[in-house]
Amino acid sequence: MSSSSQIRAQLDHPVLDADGHTVEFMPAVREYLKDVAGGEVAARIFSSPAGNPIPFGWYKASPSERLTDRRSRPPWWGLPSENTLDRATAMLPKLMYERLDETGVDFAIVYPTAGLFALGTPITEARLALCRAINDYHADVFAPYRDRLCPVAVIPMHTPEEAVAELDYAVRERGFKAILMAGHIMRPITTSADTRRATWMDHLGVDSLYDYDPVWQRCLDLGVAPAFHSGGMGWGSRNSVNNYMFNHLGHFAAAGEATCKSLFMSGVTRRFPQLRFAFLEGGTGWAVNLYNDIIGHWEKRNRSNVYRYDPRRMDLEQMQALFASHGAEVLNRLDSQALPSLIAPMGESFEADEMIDEWRAIGIERAEDIRDRFVPSFFFGCEADDPMNAMAFDTRLNSFGARLQAIFSSDIGHWDVPDISEVLEEAYELCADGFLDETDFRDFTFANTVHLYGQMNPTFFDDTVVADACAAEIRRQAA
């Protein structure tokens, strides 16, 4: 028995893996792509760096071209190789199914690998065809193993229309219960002469090019929870031409924070309070910071308190007196007779009244409203070896004693996991070291994932090996 399976044997609840990974066998995916788009289109997609879901463009450029174009070094050697058994496990659903007990996992939500890149493909024809082909592939190869493995459909998000279309196909026609959406879209700035390099980030909420409410409504109608697994490599401070590790550090957290903040600030959780969103592989350190930071910002700059900083409220007589008594060094080269005109307005802008309340989309009346519109709506995927996972459950740190909804995410199939048999063991170290108690660990590895999917779809776990335990948990949460 592995250490992880021994730990599982001690628990009185199932272990749900909220984010494992499969590695698509690309020759088979290409055959599905031919069925979707035709052989000619499939060949064109796989031969084009802009269409191929595997990012080879960096390798095709010379070192000087990489520097000139600031091409970020992409992931490399990202999959198990020396551990051939684990590599095959990620590629073969039957083998993954047979090894679940060894990992200590009862039921796993399985995300794609090539599908992560397909979502960001800028060419519409290639993006839609790849997402459809990858979905068809996963629906077929995981079909015999759905009682313990739940594949995830990839949903393109460049427009609401394409998202709704693939949602309907994946859920209604192919039977998917879990979905993966692009968390942001890099859109060209069309006024720039170089639209390839001049882009802006559309994070689906604040200042978005489109109204995505029809997509959120369709998710509610279909009973699926939007999940995001987008990365932040290539933008901001993660744009090294030569160092993948520099680009990788913190990038999932940065991408998750951008989408989460945008959804919250644009009022999505206010308009869709029953919707549940998941942000994967970034941990909870950023989420704890964002939650508490939003409260701190609102308390100082809500629609009432922000007027404290209105330059029109300055007491100019008091300011003039203070300059006269304490400002000799500041005024030594200025005409003190001109002091009133120098003080007001001292460069501050005067904001239009309709632009003052930057919280209006959320409709917050008190700080507790932030907790009520943030905590229930958002779930945060955490890799097993991240010690910051404990922060989600620390009611001393989180305003109003909140417990953020962290979900256990193995990330098996990728380089983050050298040995899949050790994942649950690593997660349990926080209990062994006293940072989590058994209730926290139960929520982390079981209850929160049931909450994420079961509240959206009470039948999500039907016909699985964890059906009875999850049904009991759903009843407990509803009580």
Tokens representing 416 are 């983050």
Torsion angle (degrees, nearest 10) of CA 276, 235, 285, 272? -20
Crossing angle of helices 39-47 and 124-141, rounded to 10°: 110
DSSP-assigned letters across all residues of 419-441: -GGGHHHHHHHHHHTTSS-HHHH
- Could you give the CA distance from residue 362 to residue 264 in angstroms, rounded to a whole number? 7
Stretch 303-309: mean pLDDT, rounded?
93
Q: Which of 33, 233, 251, 15 is nearest to 133 (CA)?
A: 33
Alpha helices in 38-182 (DSSP H): 39-47, 57-60, 63-69, 84-91, 93-103, 114-118, 124-141, 160-167
CB atoms within 10 A of CB 15: 27
Q: Which of 180, 13, 166 is nearest to 113 (CA)?
A: 180
By percentage, how much of the chain surpasses pLDDT 70?
A: 96
Indicate the range of 48-52, 218-222, 312-316, 465-469 predicted with least confidence.
48-52
- Supply the pLDDT for residue 455: 93
Confidence of residue 348 (pLDDT cuts 50, 70, 90): confident
Question: What are the distances in angstroms from CA 36 to CA 29, 47, 126, 256, 433?
Answer: 10, 17, 11, 31, 51
For 460-469, b where at least 16 C-beta lie within 10 A, e where not — what string? bbeebebeeb
- Supply the pLDDT for residue 201: 93
Res. 300: pLDDT tops 80: yes
Domains in the chain, start-ordered, CATH in brackets?
Answer: 3-300+376-478 (3.20.20.140), 310-345 (no CATH)
The three-point CA angle 77-78-81 to 5° equals: 65
Those residues with Cβ within 8 angstroms of residue 160's Cβ, 6 or more apart along the chain or in another chain:
210, 211, 212, 214, 215
Q: Average per-residue pLDDT in the chain? A: 92
- Tens digits of residue pLDDT in 36-75: 999 888 888 877 665 555 566 788 889 998 898 888 898 8
Question: What are the distances in angstroms from CA 69 to CA 47, 54, 55, 197, 231?
Answer: 21, 19, 16, 8, 20
Confidence of residue 338 (pLDDT cuts 50, 70, 90): confident
Stretch 240-268: mean pLDDT, rounded?
96
Alpha helices in 38-112 (DSSP H): 39-47, 57-60, 63-69, 84-91, 93-103
Classified as helix, coil or strand, 150 is strand
- Supply the pLDDT for residue 293: 98
- Tens digits of residue pLDDT in 452-464: 999 999 999 999 9
